Amino acid sequence: MLASLSIRDVVLIERLDLHFGPGLSVLTGETGAGKSILLDSLGLALGQRAEAGMVRSGQSQAGVVAVFHPPASHPAHALLAEQGIESEDEIVVRRIVTTDGRSRAFVNDEPVGVALLRRLGALLVEVQGQHDQVGLADPATHAGLLDAFGGLDARRNAVADAYRAWRGAERALRDAQEAIAAAQRDEEWLRHAVQELNDLAPVEGEEDALASERQGLQGSERRAEAIASSLSELQPRDRRGGGAPAAALRNAARALERLTPASEEVSAALAALAAAQDALAEAENVLERLMGDAQPDPRRLEHVEERLFALRAAARKHLVAVVDLPAHLASLKERLANLDAGTGRVAALDAAAKEARAAYVAAAGALTAARREHAEKLEKAVVRELAPLKLDRARLHIEIAPREESAWGPDGQDRVTFLVTTNPGQKPGQLAKIASGGELSRLMLALKVVLARGSPVPTLVFDEVDSGIGGATAAAVGERLARVAERLQVLVVTHSPQVAARGAQHFQVAKGVRGDRAETRVTPLEPGARREEIARMLAGERVTEAARAAADELLAGAA
């Protein structure tokens, strides 16, 4: 539902804030008062083309804000959710137009493109005018409207489910065929690669383990070299034992032992030499023991390095990381298995796709039969509404034609089109092409009366639906607008007092002058002022008591 419309600096409107309730709201006023400006302003919020001429003279920009309160299940919420825009219970649309004709649009304070604004507007408001009809005049909506009239939601949902299942089965078949074709092209390489990687037998986490072991083995080798070098410094450098520290210590001791008698100092030196020989012997024993413990296995280091290099070479060859080699091998094996078992699998998927297609065709056929049944009921229901609208010769024809298989979809196999004739013997044609402006608006009204229950659009706008009619026909138009308004919010611009009397809300549009500038004002009318406005519509410029009495009669009859 359209809750409010705020307009700033649009053509003749400086500042205007309107609030709308449910049911039927009527806008009346003399020709040229500015009613079209209101509709243009609403159209701006719904994504219609912005023009520089909409900006009020002397201002830099014009702005319109429309606030909607659609039901929680309304598709507008889903549309905004797809765009990452939160809507909750309220949708606020804002559009700004500058003097260079450029515009900016916002939904709930999020900037949006005009294309999204148009999609959103089509879900929230439907405009039926003498020249611009959307919604019912669009053949793309006709199948959904017929299904809503016939209560065919369950059948339509079954068709949509069957369609998705069919297309999913076809995708699975196509993917399998493509995978097998690709595998066959690479079969020789594939078998060689699987054999090569099977022989290599990569293990998850193996690279890290080998690298760590290699680092440890290389450290052990350096440790053994250091111990051997230290030990070699303590051992003889020739066959006679020369050059060794131990031999030098023994020779030094023997030389001192030849001194007799030995002095106290010589004895101390001999004792020190003996201690040095013992320490040196202990050092040799420790180094020899360490040498035995630290001796690395050169074959193990060589094996580790060969394995590590082989894994990395295979990874480079297959353009994957070493850690991904096991998964890559599994993938190649799966491709090979698919190739080996491909014929049987494709045959099974082909059978499943054919079965899914048959299920879709059956569901769509049942929907088509139901549509044909309810199309006849809809045609008769609309005809009953046409005679009081002075369209007793007009007829609705619902054409249900098969579509090419390439055009089948989740909504079925049919192309549903609403066609009309306005005179006997006339060939049925599209709504917007056969009827005149006034006839088209009344045809749309008749359809809306019948289809209001299934309409997904909560707000309807009729622009001069009563053009060119009066008396009983205008009263019939007003009565039908009120019936539609029992289910939907309806805004109507009218010159007919019979229609105006039916409104739950009544707005008067008037043009005046403030200072040296023309200005359009819109006033919500209380009961007394509303009586005067309807009397003016009946009598013209000079309102008489007879006109007021007639206005009272119209208001009483509409109550």
Summarised one tens digit per residue, pLDDT across range 306-331 is: 888 888 888 898 898 888 898 989 98
Residues 189 and 211 in one domain: yes
For the residues 233-255, what does the mean pLDDT come to? 69
Report residue 31 as tokens.
């020709």
**Token duo for residue 60:** 């830099």
347 and 272 in a single domain? The answer is: yes
In a domain, 141, yes or no: no
pLDDT greater than 70 at residue 223: no
Confidence grade of residue 131 (pLDDT, cut at 50, 70, 90): very low
Looking at the structure, tell me whether residues 170 and 268 fall in a common domain: yes
Domain boundary among 435, 467, 493: 435
More reliable by pLDDT, 239 or 479: 479
Instruction: Give the mean pLDDT of 361-374.
Output: 96
381 three-class SS = helix
* pLDDT for residue 233 is more than 80: no
Is the domain of 226 the same as that of 182? yes
Nearest to 17 by CA among 554, 521, 529: 521
- Top mean pLDDT of 74-83, 340-349, 448-457 is at 74-83
Confidence bin at 97 (pLDDT 50/70/90): very high
- Percent of the chain clearing pLDDT 70 (strictly above): 90
- Residue 516 within a domain: yes
Tokens of 469: 């009619």
In a domain? residue 40: yes
Using CA atoms, how far apart are residues 444 and 394, in angstroms rounded to an integer?
A: 12
What's the pLDDT score for residue 334?
Answer: 83
Same domain, 511 and 375: no
Question: The domain containing residue 109 runs over which residues?
Answer: 1-135+457-524
Residues 303 and 195 placed together within one structural domain of the fold: yes
Quick check: is 445 in a domain?
A: no
**How many separate domains does the chain show?**
3
* Residue 65, pLDDT score: 96
- pLDDT of residue 333 exceeding 80, the answer is yes
pLDDT (0 to 100) of residue 398: 93
Same domain for 181 and 73, yes or no, is: no
Asked whether residue 144 is domain-assigned, the answer is no
Together in a domain, 501 and 529: no
Look at residue 10 and tell me if it is in a domain. Answer: yes
Tell whether 15 is covered by a domain: yes
pLDDT of residue 408: 95
More confident: 553 or 277: 553
pLDDT on residue 310: 87
User: Are 393 and 537 part of one and the same domain?
Assistant: no
User: Are both 337 and 250 inside the same structural domain?
Assistant: yes
- Single out the residue of 449, 459, 451 nearest to residue 71, CA to CA: 459
Q: How many Å is the maximal CA-CA distance in the chain?
A: 166
Average pLDDT over residues 76-81: 92
CB count in 10 Å sphere of residue 519: 17
Are 213 and 168 contained in the same domain? yes
Report yes or no on 448 lying in a domain.
no
Confidence of residue 302 (pLDDT cuts 50, 70, 90): confident
Convert the pLDDT of each residue in 391-411 to its tens digit: 888 888 999 999 999 999 999
Query: If you average pLDDT over residues 3-7, what whole number do you get?
Result: 94
pLDDT in tens, 9-18: 999 998 999 9
Mean pLDDT of 546-557: 89
The arrangement of strands across the sheet holding 517-524 comes to 125-128, 459-463, 489-493, 24-28, 505-514, 517-524
Mean pLDDT of all residues in 63-71: 94
Task: Please state which of the ranges 87-96, 127-136, 287-296, 503-512 shows the lowest mean pLDDT.
Answer: 127-136
Residue 55: pLDDT band (50, 70, 90) is very high
Co-location of 494 and 539 in the same domain: no
* Cross-strand pairs, 96: 63, 104
